Amino acid sequence: MKIGPYRGLGELPGPEDLSEVLGIPFPDIKPNIKTRGDVQGIPREFSERKAQESANAQRVKDEDLILALLADAYHTLHLCHEKKKGNFLRLEREKEELEVSLYKVTSKKSEIKINLNEKEKLLIEKDVELDKGKNKRKKVKECILGVEHHISNKNQHIKGWKRS
């Protein structure tokens, strides 16, 4: 048996199956069955002749329904292609808009982060200056208290001299 491109399909169809699938009565197919190797089938000439008879039988008012069917299939495929292409283009445009929006948001976030870092540095510098100022005031206050204490001691000495 010759193996074709379709493997693993199970049983080969018999003449009855061909008759049912093709819609041709079995008595018409039976005399045309040919056997090649282990496979029974119908010759190409027979199937082409039956297809032509079927096409001719379905003509209405000299119109070929096969052509109408092909035109309808072409039109459907054309519409599907147009829709997919339109959807694809729309999706591409939306993707670009989202990328631009993401870029803007990311750059804005970076600017905010940079500004926050700069403000944090300034705050730390001001905090250090404030601490230095507090230390200076503390030292000045200590000096003033020391001077006041010294003056108070001098005043007591002076009062002591005046009494004597």
* Span 63-117, pLDDT tens digits: 666 666 677 676 666 665 666 555 656 667 788 888 888 888 888 888 888 999 9
Domain contains 19: yes
Which position has the token pair 């990328």? 99
pTM (2 d.p.): 0.31
At position 33, the amino acid (one-letter code) is I
Domain contains 43: yes
Domain count, the chain: 1
- Spell out the residues 6+ positions from residue 38 whose beta carbon is closer than 8 angstroms to its own: 1, 12
Domain contains 20: yes
Task: Give the chain's largest Cα–Cα span.
Answer: 160
Q: What's the whole-number mean pLDDT along residues 120-148? A: 92
Q: What's the whole-number mean pLDDT along residues 29-51? A: 84
* Angstrom distance (rounded) from CA 19 to CA 17: 5
